[in-house]
Chain A
Amino acid sequence: MTSDPTIGEAPVQQASRVDEPTLTVRRSRAKTVRLVLGLVIIALLAVLAVRLVMNSKLNFAVIRQYMFNPSILAGVRRTIVLTVLAMAIGSLLGLLIALARTSSSVALRSVAFFYAWMFRGTPVLVQLIIWFNLALVIPRIGISIPGTSIDWSASTNVLITPFVAALLGLALNEAAYLSEIIRAGIISVDRGQSEAAAALGLRTRGIMYRVVMPQAMRAIIPPAGNELITCLKTTSLVSIISYSELLGTAQGIYSVNYDTLELLVVASIWYLVCTTLFSIGQYFVERHFGRGFALDRGARSVGIMSLFNPRRRVTS
């Protein structure tokens, strides 16, 4: 049994336990078998992978050469910038749409519903091409307010560069998906929470910001992390509207030197690097918003809990 100097047990109990044999925890047999099986499978897969790669005609020198090629790195940077901006704009707009969908105004609810219906219901590739070709239907974009000196317009072709078209397409599309994720998060929070906050005199904004959203985030982060990674990969579609992100750059290079697969491997490695980094970030964000929740569940927390709460202490 464990003795805990910080909490200290009743002396009577201590005395009665002196003669008990010391018990230690041992890994069970089933667990050992599972562990060995797992290791064997991993080893077999590793051998298979190595043999596949060694026997292929991939030119590793080319892969190594292009891994840190300045154009490829610029493509990686554009891909990341596009992803981060699209997700940032998408989250903000998505939050507004989610709030509109949970609002009491029928007009707001309808607009929000229509938005999600529209942007989730059409392929993002089609949306990207439409934004890119916007000039065909709307040649000039501008604002003018009668009676004031505000009268400004510009050619759509100048305003909607490939980057702007890509960002518009991705961000507006992400907003539709994220709004549903955020809405699900908001309704997952018990109504008693906002009532308790309202009873204390908090107003709608304070209730949302201090009480509901921090808890909703727990339900929002995992699917939003998924969405981030999907968005990162979806950026590869924008090569079709002549914006040179990672895939577009790789395509540009292999259309000249014909090292097609090598460059696709380079691009894939960079995509994997990015998704891995995002996933690590997600872990920390999840941990932050898990504050106060995972405390009484799971084996991991038992050890920590035992320091706080003598009644939950595990004794042998």
Chain B
Amino acid sequence: MTMTTTSMVELRAVRKSFGSVEVLKGVDLTVAAGEVVCLIGASGSGKTTLLRCINHLESVSSGRIVVDGTLMGYAETSKHLVELSAKRIAGQRSNIGMVFQRFNLFPHMTALENVRMAPMRVRGLSKAEGTARACELLERVGLSDRQDAYPAQLSGGQQQRVAIARALAMHPRLMLFDEPTSALDPELVGEVLAVMKKLADDGMTMVVVTHEMGFAREVADRVIFMDGGVILEQGSPADVLGNPREQRTRDFLARVG
């Protein structure tokens, strides 16, 4: 792995509470450009919340998140952080792709329409340009023959691949994946992971929450174990998955097999 000095994501002392419950308890994390980071940890440890803070679907309670050199969600004055306008936040989000556990494809649009909608609405692409870009991306995820299918006509694996194409259509600098294969039948997991691996090989910066240890071992540059809202342990896949330092990491790995 070649470590570059430019970082794509930087989290500093990020805390997040829902009401009186603190879910993230001071997370520091740096992800280099082109790096693939896999986030593992028990259910409820704050993995989803961390991803959602990165693209400001949730606003942090304190701390700061910088993506590609831009402070997410806030403008910095001499004394305070002031939340940005909805327009600016939307602009920041448009550079970050997100893939959800339950796909969240738009059911009233075909695969093609799902992929080209945001580039047309947000980037101002013409219909022809949007269609060309969508066709290219659907081809890249191996679905060029299903572009006119509605989500309900696609298998879970196909839907998730359309969702990946949809996120890529905005030409994001960073891709966030929240358990992209957890809702899939076992035989469909492979096709989605293959698309993600190809994406990683092409140099995309990726933060992936996953329980697929095989994928983490093979594709990740770094594995991070989260526990109770903090990063408990991180390192190369071989170290964290093969020879964990922390007892809690060992317990977790024993449980997920």
Contact = CB atoms under 8 A, between A and B. Distances in A.
Interface residues on B, range: 35 or more
B57 interface: yes
A293 B110 CA distance: 11
Interface in A186-205: 190, 192-193, 195-204
B108 A201 contact: no
Interface in B80-122: 86-87, 90-91, 93-98, 100, 102, 104-110, 117-118, 121-122
A77 interface: no
B57 A198 contact: yes
Contacts of B149: 308-309
B192 to A, nearest CB: 17
A201 B153 contact: no
Interface stretch (A207-215, A243-251, A278-286): A207-215
Contacts of A303: none
A202 B106 contact: no
- Determine the main DSSP class of A at the interface with B: helix
A201 B90 contact: yes
A295 interface: yes
A293 B107 contact: yes
Contacts of B155: 311
Contacts of A305: 153
B31 interface: no
Residue from the set B57, B102, B108, B151 with the largest chain A CB neighbour count within 10 Å: B108
A210 B121 contact: yes
Contacts of B106: 193, 196-197, 211, 215
Contacts of B122: 200-202, 206
A204 B110 CA distance: 22
A289 B167 contact: no
A291 interface: yes
Size category of the binding interface on chain A: 20 to 34
Contacts of B109: 292
B94 A201 contact: yes
Interface string B56-98: 0100000000000000000000000000001100110111111
A195 B152 CA distance: 19
B152 A198 contact: no
Given A192-B100, A200-B167, A201-B91, A296 B152 contact: yes
Interface in B18-76: 55, 57
Contacts, number: 84
Nearest to B92: A201
A203 B90 contact: yes
Nearest to A190: B104
Contacts of B163: 196
Given A198-B57, A201-B118, A203-B90, A214 B152 contact: no
A200 B118 contact: yes
Given A198-B57, A291-B150, 14 more contacts: A195-B57, A195-B100, A199-B57, A199-B96, A200-B93, A200-B94, A200-B166, A201-B170, A202-B90, A203-B87, A293-B107, A293-B108, A296-B152, A308-B149
23 contacts: A192-B102, A193-B104, A195-B57, A196-B98, A196-B104, A197-B106, A199-B55, A199-B98, A200-B93, A200-B94, A200-B170, A201-B118, A203-B86, A203-B87, A210-B121, A214-B108, A292-B108, A292-B110, A292-B152, A293-B107, A295-B152, A305-B153, A311-B155
Interface of B: 55, 57, 86-87, 90-91, 93-98, 100, 102, 104-110, 117-118, 121-122, 149-153, 155, 163, 166-167, 170
Q: Which 3 A-B pairs have the closest CB atoms?
A: A201-B94, A292-B150, A196-B104
